[in-house]
Structure 1
Amino acid sequence: MAEERDVFLRARGRTLSAFREDDECQWKAPFYFIQGADPQFGLMKAWAIGDCDNGGDEWEEEIKLTEQAVQAINQLNPKPKFFVLCGDLIHGMPGTPWRKDQEQDLKNVLKNIDEDIPLVFVSGNHDIGNVPTPETIDDYCKHWGDDYFSFWVGGVFFLVLNSQLYFDSSKCSELKQAQDEWLNAQLAVAEKQKCKHVIVFQHIPLFLQNPDEDHDYFNLEKSVRHELMEKFHKAGIKAVFSGHYHRNAGGSYKDLQMVVSSAIGCQLGEDTHGLRVVIVTAEKIVHRYCSLNDLSSRGIEKELMDLIKQN
């Protein structure tokens, strides 16, 4: 249990124990991290049979894909600062069959990640429910750590948000208010500290291509979206990374990048199973989505690695 607690429950007290703020709040040099999304154990079969509500009793394909992702990350040199999974860790919604087995099988794969590469977890709608409750959020936190928190790495301030509270908080309005108050305080910290960059992770994208696009299942409602985008812009946030769409997408709002990464697991479009490599330099954030096969066989492209070597 101690090993599981260390690997999977590092997000506690609204921060990440893998990184000490005193050590990480100052810029040192370019670095990179790996972003993944939606391993979602069980969706591939559910999608194939056309029953996403009740299907999902097999997930061998997702296990193999996530194992490939872990192996690809472990062989990278230099090592990424961390590996963040942007939600929908499993397919089984709270209270459904197979959920516990899916969680355990995912943990069995992820515990093989290099011990020097911290895992960062973001809650998705399948992890806490389309309409989350205090109980479903508490259950998630017991298994994976806090549903929202912040941490510093190399002079960059990272915010992890529970986007489901912005999608539908009708059954947990007090928790949504608490996150709002916490977020405002964190943005004030970011402004005061004059950090090199501020980066947000959340499951549901603000938008998919256009800040003014219509609201649907895969993005946030317009008024909520615009309030967050303006808040992020004023705070100097450079990029928001998300998943949920099972396709690559994205756009920009003023100087804020919205980056939507496709899935490790089930693909709903023409993209391949993959991970996103994100390079952080003093001046910019550069990212590229890589298929698992390419990352496994070739690693990170030289032109990206060259950015890390710049001082």
Structure 2
Amino acid sequence: RWGPGHIGLIGKHQHLESDNELQWKAPFYFIQGADPQFGLMKAWSIGNCDHGGDDWKPEIKLTEQAVEAINQLNPKPKFFVLCGDLIHGMPGTQWREAQERDLKNTLKNVDPDIPLVFVSGNHDLGNTPTPETIDDYCKHWGDDYFSFWVGGVFFLVLNSQLYFDSTKCPELKQTQDEWLNGQLAVAEQRNCKHAIVFQHIPLFLQNPDEDHDYFNFEKSVRYEVMEMFCKAGIKAVFSGHYHRNARGFYKGLEMVVSSAIGCQLGEDTHGLRVVVVTAEKIVHKYLSLNELSSHGIGKELMDLIKQN
């Protein structure tokens, strides 16, 4: 049950592997979450994010609530994607192994008919990843980048840390770049209904021309990637990392930043994003865990799914 078929390598998952997924049939939806980051709430509360984080019971409860809310949805989402920072402990730190174990134990309760997709974040790989930290992540969670099809829609999962700082693994950055070029060519050539990207670090938060900081891409890299995405017809990029909701546009590309399941750094609350894909558009709404638990995805989004 808990193996590469259910973690990360969703392209090999039996539910999503058949040629049927290459064809558009009808509207569907998926759930996007980000930053369960077991341990950050304690570390943030004591003001020691580099070394704190010896307690993650609040994050376990929040992730359990997220799993329960997702499991009761009807119809089921096509998949549940977690956009990075699965845990707070950086590679080599004290509580990392226990945090990974507890997160896996929590996520084992996701309905087996709802595939899981994992996206690597900076805490999963390190702010400056190495071949060793990336290899360790892949052993635990699946590939750090891959693609898959669902219902005629093409999805790409990227390792955004390679764009942020690849000084210790330049060859791996080049390998992902070459792979991505090939995948974007597929997106451009194939008659996919939409093409969507998942990554941890946002390209930008609100304005494509905003200054570079910890929460977005460096400007020259940002514009290079955005132009590549636009040329290939990518419609949207979904990310996390910011622990707040944010959103912006560049030409025909929408940048969607979702707040955290775990620690909140702004005015948002613990939640998940519901993303509905119709033939014409991609519609999404961030819902608190309490909202999703008590009201599901809501009538407005449900009506979109029922369109034929």
Indicate which of 204, 217, 221 corresponds to 1:207.
204
Q: 4+ residue stretches of structure 1 with deviation over 3 A?
A: 6-10
| Match 1:5 to one of 3, 6, 12 | 3
Aligned to 1:17: 13
The amino acid of 1:195's aligned partner reads: C
Partner of 1:244, secondary structure, is: coil
Matched, 1:272 2:266: no
1:30-109 aligned at under 5 Å gives the runs 30-109=27-106
Aligned match for 1:304, one of 294, 301, 304: 301
Give 1:10 deviation, angstroms.
4.9
Answer yes or no: is the 8 Å Cα contact 1:10–1:17 preserved in 2: no
SS in structure 2 of the partner of residue 159 of structure 1 = strand
Alignment pair present for 1:170 and 2:154: no
CA shift at 1:6, angstroms?
4.7
Gaps of 5+ in 1: none
TM-score, normalised with respect to structure 2: 0.98
SS of the aligned residue for 2:2 comes to helix
Q: How does 1:141-160 map to 2 (within 5 A)?
A: 141-160=138-157
How many residues are paired up?
307
2:291 alignment counterpart = 294
**Equivalent-residue separation in structure 2 for 1:16 and 1:82 (angstroms):** 13
Question: Any idea what SS the aligned residue of 2:220 has?
Answer: helix
Contact 1:241 1:261 in 2 (8 A): yes
The separation in 2 between residues aligned to 1:92 and 1:10, in whole angstroms, is 20
Q: State the match for 2:110 in structure 1.
A: 113
* Conserved 8 A contact 2:129-2:162: yes
User: Does 2:244 correspond to 1:247?
Assistant: yes
Q: Which structure 2 residue ranges, 5 or more long, are not aligned?
A: none
Alpha-carbon distance in 2 for matches of 1:9, 1:118: 8
For residues 8 and 66 of structure 1, what CA distance do their matches in structure 2 show? Answer: 17
Cα distance in 2, alignment partners of residues 151 and 209 from structure 1: 28
Whether 1:229 and 2:241 are equivalent positions in the alignment is: no
Q: After superposition, give the CA deviation of every residue in 1:232-265 in whole Å (9 maximum; x if it has no partner).
A: 0010000000000000001000010000000000
Change (3 A) 1:62 1:120: same
Shift of 1:16: 3.8
